[in-house]
Structure 1
Amino acid sequence: MASLNDGWEPLIFPNIERHTQYALNTVDGQQVVRASADGSASGLIARLALEPGDSLVLSWRWKVSNVYEAGNAREKSGDDYPARIYVAFEFQSDKAGFFERAKRKTVEVLFGETLPGNALNYIWANQIPEQTLVANAYTDKTVMIAVNSGEQQVGEWVSVERDLVADYRQAFGEEPPAIVGVAIMTDADNTGERATAWYGDLTLRR
């Protein structure tokens, strides 16, 4: 992440007016992204077209200022995270029903971009235990994976490494299609709370 203009672009959601603020910071001589949320939601995404193969490892490090008191991955009202990594996979139209394909096409026409299919969200949770997988409160096309949880490591840098292929198989019970995007996101639009997160050394490797 040498530059926020180097392959990264804003990830904005319809009907959410307050956007999280992202900026490059230097911490201990290394460049990281600082995200500040205040009742807001948006992300930064790198668009990709990458076949995951038999194994593809995503690694990063992150730090958060706090967790959300009202955060709860199982409820829409608590679907906020001080830090998350969002991995979007290609939509597989041959596995979708007619109404799902029609609904997606309508949204794509309205918003002018191709929507992804399934997604994995690696989250810093509040309530659910680490390593727990739960369906997103809004859509079963997204599975949340708690890689950190609670306050124990708040204020500390935490390094994370995940095999995207293994996680996709566990989450969706099938082989993953191509990856179309990886995003960072700090959001607080459902809880209305505040948090700051720092992201660094986000890499993909075979």
Structure 2
Amino acid sequence: MRKPDSLKALFLGAALLLASGAVVADTTIKPFSQMTNLDDGWEPLEFPKIDRHTTYRLIEEDGTQVVEAQTSNSASGLIARLNVAPGDSLILRWRWKVSNTFEKGDARQKSGDDYPARIYVAFEFEPDKAGWFERAKRKTVEALFGEELPGNAINYIWANQLARGKTVANPYAEETMMIAVTSGEDKVGEWVTVERDIVADYREAFGEEPPRLRGVAIMSDSDNTGESATAWYGDLELNP
């Protein structure tokens, strides 16, 4: 079942904040290679009205423990909650691999808003910079979830049609920007290492300095396209 169109990105943000209790002031993302189980530093990220969830499990590949994600007409993720002042520069580094991209995948279309692998970075909401409609929309969702929602977000995606290096607004919510850091079939089946300065990316995407970083999630989803893929995620590192 698809996420409601007008609230797709907000549901992701709501799930990000609902997944645990009080926000912790921690800059460390627990490495997958050091986890004893999937609850060790990361938490499930699931959506209302979606009963088909992506399957995540710890596996060993080439002597290193990684997370394997299998999605088939499904959507869910794993999240690490943070409360970090970005400063002048904040480097997010990870590696990932996918079995395939989605034939119907297109980051510019709601029907194609699925990715075999993505990294979701959520920032604190700044109400004084939001318009009336945005504040009203958030109040509606917050009434449903009982939690404050995050603000702008960056999604680093393994894209299909969107060229590597391109940035577009999410088709469901313009406050979420999609950055194609890997694209197409050329690297399918291979480990790809990605390093991004999320402060520089935020400035480029939104034209201003970023507020506090509130969380990072991995997600492999295919509920819009109805397709299937397997992805593998290595450790995520966050460094000044």
Structure 1 unmatched ranges of 5 or more: none
**1:99 to 2:169 alignment:** no
Task: Give the letter aligned to residue 103 of structure 1.
Answer: K
- How far does residue 99 in structure 1 lie from its aligned partner after superposition? 3.4
Tell me if 1:109 matches 2:143.
yes
Counterparts of 2:146 and 2:219, CA distance in 1: 22
Structure 2 CA distance for aligned equivalents of residues 204 and 94 of structure 1 = 28
> Within 5 A, what are the aligned runs for 1:165-180?
165-180=199-214
1:14 and 1:137 map into 2 onto residues whose CA distance is 19
Map residues 135-174 of structure 1 onto 2, 5 A cutoff: 135-174=169-208
AA in 2 matched with 1:116: P
Partner of 2:87: 53
TM-score by length of 1: 0.97
**Match for 1:5 among 28, 34, 39?**
39
CA shift for structure 1 position 108: 1.4
1:130 match: 164
The one-character-per-residue Cα deviations of 1:18-74 (angstroms, maximum 9, x if unpaired) are: 110111111111110000000000111111110100000000000000000001111
For residues 116 and 190 of structure 1, the distance between their equivalents in structure 2, rounded to whole angstroms, comes to: 23
Q: Equivalents in 2 of 1:34, 1:183: separation in Å? A: 14
**Partner SS, residue 235 of structure 2:** strand
Q: Distance in 2 between matches of 1:134 and 1:171?
A: 9
Which of 35, 38, 51 is the aligned partner of 1:17? 51
SS in 1 for 2:74: coil
| AA aligned opposite 1:77 | S
The 2-side partners of 1:129 and 1:100 are apart by: 30
TM-score of the superposed pair, with normalisation by structure 2: 0.84
Indicate the SS of the match to 1:91: coil
Compare the two structures and name the one with the higher strand fraction.
Answer: 1
Of 116, 120, 123, the match for 1:89 = 123
1:40 corresponds in structure 2 to 74
Q: Distance in 1 between matches of 2:206 and 2:128?
A: 16
2:150 corresponds to 1:119: no
Match in the other structure for 2:19: none
Of 198, 203, 206, 2:237 maps to 203
| C-alpha distance in structure 1 between counterparts of 2:120 and 2:45, whole Å | 11
**CA positional deviation for 1:104:** 1.2
Q: Please, what is the CA RMSD of the aligned residues? A: 1.0
Q: Secondary structure at the match of 1:42?
A: strand
The corresponding residue for 1:72 is 106
Query: Secondary structure at 2:199's aligned position in 1?
Result: helix
| Pick aligned residue for 1:188 from 222, 228, 233 | 222
Q: Which amino acid in structure 1 is aligned with residue 136 of structure 2?
A: A
Q: Unmatched 5+ residue regions in structure 2?
A: 1-31
Q: Report the CA distance between 1:110 and its aligned residue.
A: 1.1
